[in-house]
């Protein structure tokens, strides 16, 4: 997506009437821990560094051109994107599985080498939401389809890395629900076996991964999916932006 398109999307989100749905009885700000997705939830990229790293890494390691036509990107995991691309290309697993870790490692290095060229946009209300949840005593973690070094790097460049004390990443988990399970385990290691954990994400895949682990979701329509698209998947909370959710909470508590 071009920087002009991203700016247009953000402008529309900020100008549109805020929309908030909260399931009756769900206390969204009383959870013990929160797992934040990164892309589309905390930030959007004006650059194509992460995206282009898929093509460059497959080309360098495997000597072939990667085709992502027909592959779901938003809400997928980095390994899952490669799995899906190779499957659609009908590539025999024996030709790519032995090289997968080398491809992923090349991606990590390629993105890190371009740190200074990253151009990231913070989603509305991110700083305020992180501060608010931390003030409530919640543990803040990451639950993302990014590889770990790439995910942390984005958050460092965005200036929000220090809010988070743990993270679930896709290095060992091509399936998103497995990554969320690992992140939830880390949260409960910090806050106790019975700690309540909430997923915050911008895609139906965040919602389904949370449901697969018996976790509630705050769905935020700041990515590629609309408020209506997300609401169809029955998250406990659905909002146009994090700012809108905070604003409603503030008005209720006045």
Bridge partners, 39 (sequence order): 43
pLDDT class of 11 with cuts at 50, 70, 90: very low
pLDDT class of 4 with cuts at 50, 70, 90: very low
pLDDT class of 138 with cuts at 50, 70, 90: very high
The pLDDT, as a whole number, for residue 249 is 79
Pair 178, 189: CB distance under 8 Å: no
Least trusted range by pLDDT, from 13-27, 44-58, 195-209: 13-27
The pLDDT, as a whole number, for residue 250 is 75
Write out pLDDT tens, residues 148-183.
999 999 999 999 999 999 999 999 999 999 999 999
Query: From 3.40.50.1980, 3.40.50.1000, 3.40.50.2300, 3.40.50.720, which CATH number describes the 3-45+122-253 domain?
Result: 3.40.50.1000
Write out pLDDT tens, residues 79-130.
999 999 999 999 999 999 999 999 999 999 999 999 999 999 999 999 999 9
The pLDDT, as a whole number, for residue 17 is 85
Whole-structure pTM value: 0.93
Is 254 a residue whose pLDDT tops 80?
Answer: no
State the average pLDDT for the chain.
94
Percent of the chain scored above 70 by pLDDT? Answer: 92
Tokens of 140: 């803040």
The pLDDT, as a whole number, for residue 15 is 46
Is 2 a residue whose pLDDT tops 70?
Answer: no
Write out pLDDT tens, residues 208-232.
999 999 999 999 999 999 999 999 9
Is 8 a residue whose pLDDT tops 70?
Answer: no
- Measured in degrees and rounded to the nearest 5, phi and psi for residue 246 equal -65, -40
pLDDT class of 253 with cuts at 50, 70, 90: low
The pLDDT, as a whole number, for residue 218 is 98
The pLDDT, as a whole number, for residue 252 is 64
Region 183-187: mean pLDDT is: 98
Region 136-155: mean pLDDT is: 98
């Amino acid at each position: 997506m071009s920087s002009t398109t991203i700016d247009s999307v953000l402008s529309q989100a900020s100008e549109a009437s805020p929309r908030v749905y909260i399931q009756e009885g769900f206390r969204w700000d009383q959870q013990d821990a929160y797992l934040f997705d990164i892309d589309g939830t905390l930030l959007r990229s004006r650059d194509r560094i992460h995206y282009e790293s898929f093509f460059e890494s497959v080309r360098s390691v495997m000597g072939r051109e990667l085709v992502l036509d027909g592959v779901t990107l938003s809400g997928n995991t980095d390994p899952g994107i490669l799995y899906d691309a190779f499957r659609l290309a009908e590539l025999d697993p024996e030709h790519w599985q032995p090289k997968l870790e080398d491809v992923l490692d090349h991606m990590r290095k390629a993105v890190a080498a371009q740190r200074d060229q990253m151009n990231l946009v913070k989603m509305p209300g991110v700083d305020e939401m992180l501060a608010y949840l931390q003030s409530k005593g919640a543990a803040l973690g990451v639950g993302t389809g990014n590889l770990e070094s790439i995910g942390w790097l984005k958050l460092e460049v965005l200036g929000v890395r220090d809010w988070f004390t743990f993270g679930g990443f896709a290095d060992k988990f091509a399936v998103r629900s497995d990554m969320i399970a690992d992140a939830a385990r880390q949260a409960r290691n910090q806050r106790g076996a019975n700690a309540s954990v909430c997923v915050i994400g911008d895609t139906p895949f965040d919602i389904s991964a949370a449901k697969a682990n018996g976790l509630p979701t705050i769905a935020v329509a700041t990515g590629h999916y609309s408020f209506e698209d997300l609401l169809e998947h029955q998250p406990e909370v659905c909002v146009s932006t994090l700012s809108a959710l905070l604003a409603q909470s503030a008005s209720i508590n006045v």
